[in-house]
Structure 1
Amino acid sequence: MKIILLPRILGKNLEIDTEEGGIITKQKSVVWLLSITILFTLTGCWNRVELNELAVTVAMGLDKKGNKILLSQQIVNPGAIAAKGGAASSDAPVTLFKETGNSLQEAGRKMTTSSTRKVYTGQLQMLIISEELAKEGLSDVLDHISRDHQYRKDFFVVIARGTKAENILKVYTLIDRIPPNKMKHSLDNSSKALGTTAAVKMDQFMSDIINKEKEAVLTGIKVYGNRALGETTENGQQIDPGAKLQYHGLAVFKKDRLVGWLNEEASKGYNYTQGEIHSTTVEFPCPRGKKKINVEVLRTQEKTQFKKINGTPQIDIKVSLEGNVADAQCDIDLSRPETITQLEKLTEKDIKRTIAAALKAAQKKYKSDIFGFGHVINHTNPKYWEKIQKDWYHEFPNLQVNVEVKADIQRIFLTKKSFRERMEE
């Protein structure tokens, strides 16, 4: 057996058995100590920066400025979040830095000339892209973000609708003093409780952009009210602020370019086809009279399938849901099973209408497969998809889509009679 003596480390010789691959030492603890020492050297933070040396970006806006990009970064003001003793400061909780450049990277580097700290985007929560920039294409912007290790890719992306992205970042908000917190929570809550928005994160957006089987969508955000007042600290101190941020509609993409918008009705219809309706309300006229009735949708399931009938390709979308009668202004007897059946049919009809609106906009107006029908076809019949994928933009607008909705109203809350009926008893 051949023994090799390695140099003395920590005062001990290591003996290695080269035939059996084992380590023979007079004191095994030396090996463990050596291993720990090596691990410390491997995990050291050679480029560590202290927190008080960073300017933490929580929201970013991208606009066009001539032939250049205008980069706006909303940076947290730590001293304004909470003063000593926990009292809120009257100072602005965030500050806005802006810089232009031929690229996103150049604009970001130039920003160091105005910031006293290193700008850090690892805590980015919201990216707002202007409608104007999105219409020209986002491939260059997405290329930089995908390569830069500092971006975590788990932040939300939205489109500034009818205004610049920097204007969105200038609005002071209530409840959440940090505006991106408000935008993030509002987007997440509205997508779950209303169904007219889509909470899309950067990693999903980039995946949809490069995916040849599905196009991307993003939620639009607008400034409502007096935008000039919204840029003052007083806006965040009023019960009824003069300017508010509100989400509105879904932006439809074709590859990396924004090509148009879905209204709220079509946006909800789109989310039904994606199985992304967690909870919402369906409102329609009463069977008799001009009053309204509301059904609260609690759970939905969606199933999309591809088939060919007599050589004709078709997509079948089946949506099933459970719901409650939430608001009944009608003069109807909710204790009768046939009344519930009638309300189920009206609910199904209304949901089919919203889905039809989304299909019409995507197929006929924008010719953009935001539904991912290409993915369904490829998953079901790869050979057929391989045959048509090069001409998918021509095939998609004429694709036959069949929609089936099944509603199951299980509860009518605490009473079977309307409040007006109980008043007249």
Structure 2
Amino acid sequence: MKQNKRWLAPLALFCLLLLFSGCGSHYEPDALSYVLLIGIDEGTQNNLRISFMIANPKELAGGSGAQNSTGGGDEVKGTASPVATVESPSLYAAMNMVNTFVGRKISLMHAKGIIFSEKMARNGSMAIFIPALTQYRETRGTAFLAVSKDKPEKILHEMKPLLEANPAKYIELLAATSQYTGFIPSIQLQEFYNESKVEGIAPVSILFASSKNKPSEDGKGSLRREGAYVAGQMAKRGGVALEAMGAAAFRDGKMVGELNGDETTLQAMLRGKFKRGIFSMEDPLKPKNILSMDVVSARKPKIKVRLTNQGAVIDAKISLEGNLLGATSTIDYALPKYRPILEKDFSDMIKKQAEDLIIKTQQEYKADILGFGTKARHLVLTQKQWQELKWRDLYEQAEVNIEVDYKLRRTGNLFRIMPLLKPEQGIDEGDNPQ
């Protein structure tokens, strides 16, 4: 009998706990409107103009992926991701206002990204907004952060995936292109907020723009690297009518400049975030020909910071390796006499680009977007000493030494590279004059 009584208290406690279980929000999933993207801009009739891209469960379940819209940009029946825009005093007021006509309660629990206008980024109002976003329990700290050169509302309307029925999947894949192109930064809301709060590193964000530059049918083009563009500059036709290319650089909460695709790749290399990318370059032995290489990070960069009587000295070593994808010349870079030439030429190119970017951050942006300051904290013992060090002033005058180590691992599937047969030029079968 006493043994049975010992079990009564735990059993009663267990039954009591069952009364407290259940859905925390008390809203059923089919009573919520899930926001996929948020666009934030300055308003004309109120403080803010807030746009929400909302998932349409009916269309997603049908898998139609229909992306119809009227000429004025207003969504019609059959749209997988309708966009609702209101002007309001705050983001959360906008959510409440949208609730009056959407029919379901707005929820940010599945918001994949947040896009601000360039105007808000440059005047500093974007940075003021960031803490309020991270404060709200439904906001995902893993959402990507972007700046739009066009109205964010326009970007949301243009975001109509061609290959994905589910716009949420498209948004995730678009942000993930940083892993294999390097043309946009890998930056999340919480990370941006953290870097904005500390000395020794300045944040960047993704750069968006609608497509404007269509390829010309006349004229003759010249060589321009694939990463030499910022969003809105690519010559393109077809596909989704927007571009994610480059980054926006910030100092003291304000956008101070833009990085093109190449500079964004170099920033990722020096931050240790670079994964993989395709690089084009002139053939070092035949400059009129183009080489393409698939380059990956061999290991994290080695960054060392030290103080001298002349100021701060930063030593950075970038380690890369890659494969030759194709070359328009007939030079066989698999041969031992040619391979070191290509490796050195590519290393020199990356070194020159990195040095140019560093000078730009020191003289134009005056912001350590490369995060060298995080490696300089070991120079002091206390927070007070770190503040007295004044890293920002030190960085502007710092001497930065860049070393790039590149190793060519593979040169393609051909055992030997042979030229086209040209007997009149003395090139016979089996001959390679190179």
Same fold (TM over 0.5): yes
SS of equivalent residue, structure 1 residue 170: helix
Residue in 2 that maps onto 1:120: 107
Residue in 1 that maps onto 2:284: 287
**Which digits, 9 at most, give the CA deviation of each residue in 1:59-89, with x for residues without a partner?**
1100112461111011111111233xx6666
Change (3 A) 1:176 1:219: same
1:70 lines up with 2:21 in the alignment: no
**Which digits, 9 at most, give the CA deviation of each residue in 1:88-138, with x for residues without a partner?**
667110111111122222222222222211101101112111111111222
Change (3 A) 1:319 1:105: same
Q: 1:158 aligns with which of 146, 161, 164?
A: 146
Alpha-carbon distance in structure 2 between the residues aligned to 1:176 and 1:113: 30
1:303 lines up with 2:282 in the alignment: no
8 A Cα contact 2:185 2:246, kept in partner = no
Alpha-carbon distance in structure 2 between the residues aligned to 1:338 and 1:208: 46
Most deviating of 395-404 and 179-188: 179-188
Most deviating of 54-63 and 100-109: 100-109
SS of equivalent residue, structure 2 residue 52: strand
Alpha-carbon distance in structure 2 between the residues aligned to 1:72 and 1:216: 24
**Which digits, 9 at most, give the CA deviation of each residue in 1:346-373, with x for residues without a partner?**
1101111221232122111110111112
Residue in 2 that maps onto 1:365: 364
Q: Please list, as runs of the form range in 1=range in 2, the aligned pairs for 1:168-247 lying within 5 A after superposition.
A: 168-171=155-158, 172-189=160-177, 191-225=178-212, 241=238, 244-247=241-244
Residue in 2 that maps onto 1:94: 81
Change (3 A) 1:417 1:357: farther
Change (3 A) 1:50 1:353: same
Residue 181 (structure 1) shift: 2.9
1:260 lines up with 2:257 in the alignment: yes
Residue 139 (structure 1) shift: 3.5
Residue in 2 that maps onto 1:408: 407
**Which digits, 9 at most, give the CA deviation of each residue in 1:390-417, with x for residues without a partner?**
7333322111111000111122122254
Residue 421 (structure 1) shift: 5.3
SS of equivalent residue, structure 1 residue 212: coil
- Counterpart code for 1:99: V
Unaligned runs of 5+ in 2: 69-77, 215-236, 423-428
How many equivalent pairs are there? 387
Q: 4+ residue runs of structure 1 moved beyond 6 angstroms?
A: none
Residue 310 (structure 1) shift: 4.8
8 A Cα contact 2:65 2:80, kept in partner = no
Aligned sequence identity (%):
22
SS of equivalent residue, structure 1 residue 166: helix
8 A Cα contact 2:202 2:369, kept in partner = yes
Alpha-carbon distance in structure 2 between the residues aligned to 1:385 and 1:292: 53
Most deviating of 266-275 and 41-50: 41-50
SS of equivalent residue, structure 1 residue 299: strand
1:58 lines up with 2:36 in the alignment: yes
Residue in 1 that maps onto 2:12: 34
Residue in 2 that maps onto 1:82: 61
**Which digits, 9 at most, give the CA deviation of each residue in 1:149-190, with x for residues without a partner?**
1112121111112x010101001221123444323202212x
Residue in 2 that maps onto 1:17: none
- Counterpart code for 2:170: K
Change (3 A) 1:384 1:336: farther
SS of equivalent residue, structure 2 residue 5: coil
Residue in 2 that maps onto 1:15: none
8 A Cα contact 2:112 2:168, kept in partner = yes
SS of equivalent residue, structure 1 residue 252: strand
SS of equivalent residue, structure 1 residue 133: helix
Residue 299 (structure 1) shift: 3.0
Residue 248 (structure 1) shift: 1.6
- Which protein has the bigger strand share? 1
1:108 lines up with 2:95 in the alignment: yes
Alpha-carbon distance in structure 1 between the residues aligned to 2:41 and 2:213: 21
8 A Cα contact 1:105 1:144, kept in partner = no
Residue in 2 that maps onto 1:232: none
Q: Please list, as runs of the form range in 1=range in 2, the aligned pairs for 1:245-394 lying within 5 A after superposition.
A: 245-289=242-286, 290-301=288-299, 302-310=301-309, 312-382=311-381, 386=385, 391-394=390-393
- Cα root mean square deviation, aligned: 2.6
Alpha-carbon distance in structure 1 between the residues aligned to 2:293 and 2:245: 22
SS of equivalent residue, structure 1 residue 354: helix
TM-score, length basis structure 1: 0.83
